[in-house]
Amino acid sequence: MEKISKVLLLGSGALKIGEAGEFDYSGSQAIKAMKDEGIETILINPNIATVQTSEGVADKIYYLPVTPYFVEQVIKKEQPQGILLAFGGQTALNCGVELYRTGILEKYNLKVLGTPVQAIMDTEDRELFNRKLDEIDVKTIKSHAVENLEDAVAAAKELGYPVIIRAAYALGGLGSGFCNNEEELVKLAEKSFTFSPQVLVEKSLKGWKEIEFEVVRDKYDNCITVCNMENFDPLGIHTGESIVVAPCQTLTNSELHKLREIAIRIVRHIGIVGECNVQYAFDTESEDYRVIEINARLSRSSALASKATGYPLAFVAAKIGLGYGLFELKNSATGTTPAFMEPSCDYIVCKMPRWDLSKFQGVSREIGSSMKSVGEIMSIGRTFEEVIQKGIRMIGQGAHGFVANKEIVVNDIDKALRQPTDNRIFVISKAFNAGYTVDQIHELTKIDKWFLDKLYNIIITGKELMALNSTDELSYDLLKIAKRQGFSDFQIARLVLKELTAQDSDKGLLEIRKYRKSLGILPVVKQIDTLAGEYPAKINYLYLSYSGDKHDIEFADDKKSIIVLGSGAYRIGSSVEFDWCSVNALTTIQKCGWRGVMINYNPETVSTDYDMCDRLYFDELTFERVLDIHDLENPHGMVVSVGGQIPNNLALKLDANGINILGTQAKFIDNAEDRHKFSSMLDRLEIDQPKWKELSTMSDVYEFVDKVGFPVLVRPSYVLSGAAMNVCSNKVELEQFLNLAANVSKKHPVVVTEFLQNAKEIEFDAVADKGNVIAYAISEHIEFAGVHSGDATIQFPPQKLYVETARRIKKISRKIAEALQITGPFNIQFLAKENDIKVIECNLRASRSFPFVSKVLKINLIELATKAMIGEPYEVPHKSAFDLDYVGIKASQFSFARLLKADPVLGVDMASTGEVGCLGDDTNEAILKSMLSVGYRVPQKNILLSTGDAKNKADLLAAAKMLADKGYSLFATGGSWKYLVENNIPATRVYWPTEPSMEPQAMDMLTNKQIDMVVNIPKNLTQEELENGYKVRRAAVDFNIPLITNARLASAFINAFCNVPLESIQIKSWDEYK
Amino acid sequence: MQSVKKAKLVLENGLEFQGFSFGFDQPACGEVVFSTAMVGYPESLTDPSYSGQILCVTYPIIGNYGVPADEVENGISKYFESDKIQVKALVISDYSFNYSHWNAAKSLDQWLKENKIPGIFGIDTRELTKVLRNNGSMMGKIVQEDCNAELACVNPNVVNQVDQVSCKEVIRYNEGRGKKVVLLDCGVKNSILRTLTQKDVEVIRVPWNHNFNEMEYDGLIISNGPGNPDFCTEAVENIKAAMGNDKPVFGICMGNQLLGKAAGAKTEKLKFGHRTQNQPVRRVGTTTCYITTQNHGYALDAATLGADWEPMFENLNDGSNEGIRHKSKPFFSIQFQPDGVEFLFDEFIKML
């Protein structure tokens, strides 16, 4: 083995759809593997909220864009001997391939650890890939290009019906379709040839099963398949959008061995050294198959496979990259047997995607071949019914399982089954209730009947429960079956104790719980050990199930453990930052001599890596399950303030049931969460807040609006469709929103809040102990209030805040901390106009910006908060943000490109999927680094401007002048053009799509890629105005042209790239900022 | 829910596991063993190596893809490992009453009924596995709730199981095609027969105690088989005699133990055996490893091998012997199933 002492690891940057937290997990594992060997690790990843970019993980961290330019600069400076490309998703892989192609890897004599770049390229290029697999007689999906009818018929015959035919070079699917036989083919092909001289004939794999294998190969050619997985949804739905189970459920021994053998053959032939994912389409009527694609790197599926089996794929892959053989490594689950093994599961896992489509204006809800989900969960159990019901609860979208939910409205069930949306699983439930049979649903969805039969079992049990009216009628056997099928106590309560549950959901649930315990029906804790119990396991990777009699583990009952509740599925507004908080809380708990127990179910996280804690319960964060685990563990207490809103919402209930909540008391958490209580407290403390009122009639709404004036922020408590919040600028909009989107009534009141324009938004992240603030960080938004704090660009320490404002904010925060007797982390959001300060909201938990401010300040606020909560001694930090000689900028990552038709505009609802945080010697440098990190590019030449209302136009004038002076060519639409010219800034006028007779058209310039950057500021937030620029904004996203829709951010970015040349950007690691 | 009868599994040490009856409604007794293979119940249940045993499958959801119709090709069943269900009973956690698969002909429940084999589901199979892991395989019985029948329990390890599953007369495959290979049937799995008959050799399948030395042949394969190798003295004597003529010998599973005994080594009972599809095995002295399927309760003690012999494969989990070979003569054997190492058949045939 060649001696390597320093390696460079490329991260995946900000979380985005298709590339999320799983790469924090794989990167962290790779770093662990390197440290294990005493190798120094250099990490490039601008995602400041990750665990891998934390102190004590990588040795040196660069918060820089993962692009060839910056990576080369770091290589030049650090001179590593090896580079790891497989642990940072497609971002790292693409960057690595580029570095290889341009000869940079060779130039710096950098050894690629693991799969060679040429092998990666063979898998990435469709044609190369097909050719490579042809060499070993492995079938791939191929199209035959034909130019006449006879050839089309011959091609179809060779491929076998059904086939798809497509007219080549025709947009929008003209002349495409399915043909089940020759007759249909002839008919359609004749039509297709009228559109195009060439027609592509492809085998139709519609309705085939989708199967995945995770394969590992070492340099000695030893191969193992660690996990196989089956999609619940048939081919046609992206695997990231599918419900997935592991191991495969409907394949026979011979089928699985066939696919396993092929997977190994492929991996050997391609020359993988490390980990690889192989995706298959698999016929439902024979053993026929096609390879869809392979990923020669760690992937979402490999993270899932690691969590599904307990086999640490990324760790092993990293070690193999260093030259180890699989047989030389140990299986970390047993500690005695080798890593050359194929795990055997004695449970089933189910992955379900989490969508947040309601956050986006105009997006299509249909799910299909492109990924739209923003997070995922994994449930573990011993029946399919159990995992699917657990999983439905885990995705956290208000459902309690497969049955006993609020009825959804489906106009056309047939259509909804045929064309799946993010609601698919609930449509199936609805269809069963409407009398559809398994066969009918199968015909419409092509979901394997095995899955549907199991779902139908749940329906049957649901009906049996529904027929009962009290616990006296509920037999032991039925209750036991229901629990084995994953029914929650709440579901059972809703079905049996109908009235009681309708009045008070917790009462019903607790009554069922009491009754169930009296019958001795209790969940058991089982271990995930990679060997299905064949050998004793050392790991504490656990789940709960009702299919079992005995626990696998023993409980110490010594009150020496502390349970930390994790963050659940990543969603818009809650993602990797809470994983960082959870991991840091666990680490602190362990450092202080306690046992740390984690509950979480998100397979993309580091907190669910079983060696991060003493015990990992990979299970639900529901009231019921947390009580179950608490009953068994009997811990000292529970931390509910580091996992975001899910644990925070449980605080009051847990407290009421005798659980020791560590940190701020539950009643104070409630005082901050309850709008009325919080507001009256602020009044009492004489702290200003925007005027608001909860109203239940339209006339009350008008009366209130007359008082505060437009615009107002409207938050309905019951949403029919669309966004949950909206800003209304006039009466028409207000009426439209409240009539169309929401419902105003006594039962469903609406909260109307005065909306301050051109106000600064300020974040106060802090830690308090018994009401005393012990550390804090004040940061300011670049954008004015109105952009959700999760989408805003945040600057820390603040550079443009009056000292007086900061002083007042501190004072108010101290008052609040004292009034709520806060112990632990908290966050307050302020509005400031001049020195006038209002409190918008207060969360008595860690906030999204905790990792960012902690890392910029170099004070770990979570460590401090955890010590305060568990009553361990700590040192009050003396450093203040004003001492810092550098600036941090947190910028948001949007995934609009994935969300077809969504309007890429920012508003009061959060839309970003991730973030980065970069450091710079001044604001400009930090802004530039962070904007480049979230995918912006410094424009070459042409910039398109539509600068919004008068205020925004004025705000952008200086920036526009700067661009013109720098030699950029400006193009502008009507009013913006006029304004520029009037102010002596040269610009060319371009026209809106609504002015079709005029030239040049803005849209043409975008589609012809003549524009390098688009600044498009919506005039106001009215629907009309939003639609006006929609086409331009959408085109910018679809053609991958950097787009900015906020005037203040646009100014900041323009300022940055006009004043800071790329070459002058400092290549400094985190520890060099002192 | 389907109406089901309660049943229980009672172990020799008195432990009871409650569950529900499926398959044939009649008590059964046998040595309880567990298998961690996640798929392949039609193959496992018909595997002669499970003769006399109650099989506990650790994968919890069983019956998903039903059972295929028994098609026979070239005189060998296409989907099953033998012509009947070999286990005494089946123990699982969750039974899929409805199956779904294109080549399924019946449900697992129906197949068990037809073969008069009881099943029990709803068992904490993980707990049972741990009991067997910690205490070793033991006898047990399955009793349905209204059943009063007395059971005559026979420990399969005190009976010659090989004799029960071996063929009773000589059967020839591929007659006249190439060299002649004697297949000593100690309970051969059909998958071995299928692989072997695809090669260009004539296969002469003989009963386990048949004196094949009187026959005209070019090489010997000793098959897999159930139970304790100590019962197969006649076979060992015949193998010893065969080794005298230097014709190639290839032992598989039980064949490894019998060849070892013929070479003078001893066998021992493993605590709970190897019954999985994921046993890691390394070819001794190389960096080449295989994931193998295994099903055996006894193993060869490699330390007792004579000086002319050496270990060929070893188990990476527990270090037990997984194969031996003669240092100079064409005799070798493996303790695992040959799927995935089919090249060994070719190596053997080349020696003929």
pLDDT digits (tens, 9 = 90+) for A274-308: 999 999 999 999 999 999 999 999 999 999 999 99
Encode pLDDT of A300-340 as tens digits: 999 999 999 999 999 999 999 999 999 999 998 888 899 99
Assess whether pLDDT exceeds 70 at residue B192: yes
CB-count burial class (<10 Å; 0-12, 13-18, 19+) for A854:
buried
Encode pLDDT of A698-737 as tens digits: 889 999 999 999 999 988 776 554 556 788 888 888 887 7
Contact B60 A346 (CB under 8 A): yes
Contact B61 A249 (CB under 8 A): yes
Confidence of residue A1026 (pLDDT cuts 50, 70, 90): low
Contacts A248 to B, Cβ<8 Å: 39
Encode pLDDT of A814-848 as tens digits: 999 999 999 999 999 999 998 899 999 999 999 99
Distance CA B220, CA B242 (A): 8
pLDDT for residue A635: 98
Nearest CA in chain A to B317: A337
Q: Is residue A643 left, alpha or beta, with left meaning phi > 0 and alpha meaning psi from -120 to 50?
A: alpha
Contact A535 B317 (CB under 8 A): yes
Assess whether pLDDT exceeds 80 at residue A450: yes
Which three-class secondary structure state does DSSP give residue A662?
coil
Distance CA A168, CA A189 (A): 12
- B64: nearest CB among A249, A341, A534: A249
Confidence of residue A369 (pLDDT cuts 50, 70, 90): confident
Q: Decide if B125 touches A, using CB distance below 8 A.
A: yes
- Average of pLDDT values for A625-634? 97
Report how many Cβ contacts below 8 Å link chain A to chain B: 161
Assess whether pLDDT exceeds 50 at residue A813: yes
pLDDT for residue A1024: 57
Neighbours of A148 (CB within 10 A): 13
Of the candidates A435, A321, A1023, A323, the one whose C-alpha atom is nearest the C-alpha of residue A740 is: A1023
Q: Decide if B69 touches A, using CB distance below 8 A.
A: no
pLDDT for residue A2: 59
Of the candidates B194, B199, B321, the one whose C-alpha atom is nearest the C-alpha of residue B251 is: B321
Interface mutation target, options A255, A464, A547, A553, chain B, most CBs of B under 10 Å: A547
Buried b or exposed e, range A619-640, using 16+ CB within 10 angstroms: bbbbbbbbbbbbebbebbbbbb
Q: Where in A374-418 does DSSP place strands (E)? A: 375-381
**What angle in degrees, to the nearest 10, is found between the helix axes of A476-484 and A505-518?**
110
Distance CA A821, CA B200 (A): 85
Residue A876 is given by DSSP the state P
How far is CA A309 from each of CA A211, A321, B221, rounded to the nearest angstrom?
16, 21, 37
Contact B65 A450 (CB under 8 A): yes
For chain B, give percent helix, strand, coil, nearest 5. 25, 35, 40
List, as ranges, residues 219-248 from B with C-beta within 8 Å of A: none
Contact A922, A795 (CB under 8 A): no
- State how far Cα A281 lies from the chain centre: 26
How far is CA A325 from each of CA A30, A178, A226, A264, A796, rounded to the nearest angstrom?
16, 48, 15, 16, 47
pLDDT for residue A733: 81
Alpha helix locations (H) across B108-253?
A: 108-114, 125-135, 161-165, 190-197, 233-243
How many angstroms separate the CA of residue A520 from the nearest CA in chain B? Answer: 14
Distance CA B210, CA B238 (A): 8
How many angstroms separate the CA of residue A433 from the nearest CA in chain B? Answer: 17
Q: Which two tokens stand for residue B341?
A: 């190492």
pLDDT for residue A721: 47
Contact A327 B339 (CB under 8 A): no
Interface mutation target, options A218, A223, A252, A545, chain B, most CBs of B under 10 Å: A252
How far is CA B316 from each of CA A222, B289, B323, B339, rounded to the nearest angstrom?
13, 9, 13, 18
Distance CA B17, CA A292 (A): 45
Alpha helix locations (H) across B157-268?
A: 161-165, 190-197, 233-243, 254-262
Q: What is the CA radius of gyration of chain A?
A: 29
Confidence of residue A1039 (pLDDT cuts 50, 70, 90): confident
Contact B205, B171 (CB under 8 A): yes
Confidence of residue A92 (pLDDT cuts 50, 70, 90): very high
Range in A807-821, A928-942, B121-135, B151-165 with the lowest mean pLDDT: B151-165
Contact A532 B58 (CB under 8 A): yes
Cis bond leading into A986, ω under 30°? no
Contact A526 B126 (CB under 8 A): yes
pLDDT for residue A1051: 97
DSSP string, B270-296: EEEEEEEEEEEEEETTSS-EEEEEEEE
H or E element at residue B321:
strand B321-326
What ipTM was predicted for this assembly? 0.96
pLDDT for residue A371: 87
Confidence of residue B1 (pLDDT cuts 50, 70, 90): very low
pLDDT for residue A383: 98
List, as ranges, residues 319-348 from B with C-beta within 8 Å of A: 339-340
- B36: nearest CB among A254, A344, A347: A344
- B133: nearest CB among A261, A450, A534: A534
Contacts A523 to B, Cβ<8 Å: none
Assess whether pLDDT exceeds 90 at residue A907: no
Encode pLDDT of A989-1020 as tens digits: 999 888 888 899 999 999 888 999 999 998 76
Q: Which two tokens stand for residue A1065?
A: 């950007």
Assess whether pLDDT exceeds 80 at residue B76: yes
Q: Which two tokens stand for residue A858?
A: 């170099």
Across A185-189, A815-819, B152-156, the highest mean pLDDT is recorded for A815-819
Q: Which two tokens stand for residue A738?
A: 């409240």
Confidence of residue A351 (pLDDT cuts 50, 70, 90): very high
How many angstroms separate the CA of residue B291 from the nearest CA in chain A? Answer: 7
Contact A340 B316 (CB under 8 A): yes
Contact A224 B291 (CB under 8 A): yes
**The pTM is what?**
0.95
One-letter amino acid of A199 = V
Confidence of residue A177 (pLDDT cuts 50, 70, 90): confident
Place of tokens 């069943």: B77
- Average of pLDDT values for A372-385? 96
Nearest CA in chain B to A209: B101
pLDDT for residue A741: 62
Q: Which two tokens stand for residue A1042?
A: 């950097």
Distance CA A677, CA A666 (A): 14
How many angstroms separate the CA of residue A1027 from the nearest CA in chain B? Answer: 49
Confidence of residue A495 (pLDDT cuts 50, 70, 90): very high
Distance CA A382, CA A778 (A): 48
Question: pLDDT above 90 covers what percent of chain A?
Answer: 80
List, as ranges, residues 6-25 from B with C-beta within 8 Å of A: 17-18
Nearest CA in chain B to A450: B100
Contact A778, A762 (CB under 8 A): yes
pLDDT for residue A740: 66
Assess whether pLDDT exceeds 60 at residue A1056: yes
Contact A547 B287 (CB under 8 A): no
Distance CA B84, CA B46 (A): 6
One-letter amino acid of B280 = P
Q: Decide if B130 touches A, using CB distance below 8 A.
A: yes
Farthest CA pair distance, chain A: 85
Residue A854 is given by DSSP the state H
Contact B99, B74 (CB under 8 A): no
CA angle at residue A1022 from A1019 to A1025, to 5 degrees? 50
Q: Strands B16-23, B6-11: parallel, antiparallel or unpaired by DSSP?
A: antiparallel
Of the candidates A382, A388, A429, A398, the one whose C-alpha atom is nearest the C-alpha of residue A524 is: A382
How many angstroms separate the CA of residue B62 from the nearest CA in chain A? Answer: 9
Q: Which two tokens stand for residue A1015?
A: 């600044």
pLDDT for residue B147: 78
Contacts B59 to A, Cβ<8 Å: 247, 344-346, 532
Alpha helix locations (H) across A58-213?
A: 68-78, 89-101, 104-107, 117-124, 126-134, 149-159, 182-195
Return the higher-pLDDT residue of A397 and A879: A397
- A549: nearest CB among B96, B101, B124: B124
DSSP string, A71-85: HHHHHHHH--SEEE-
Contact B39 A338 (CB under 8 A): no
Contact B124 A450 (CB under 8 A): no
- Average of pLDDT values for B250-266? 96
Contact B282 A384 (CB under 8 A): no
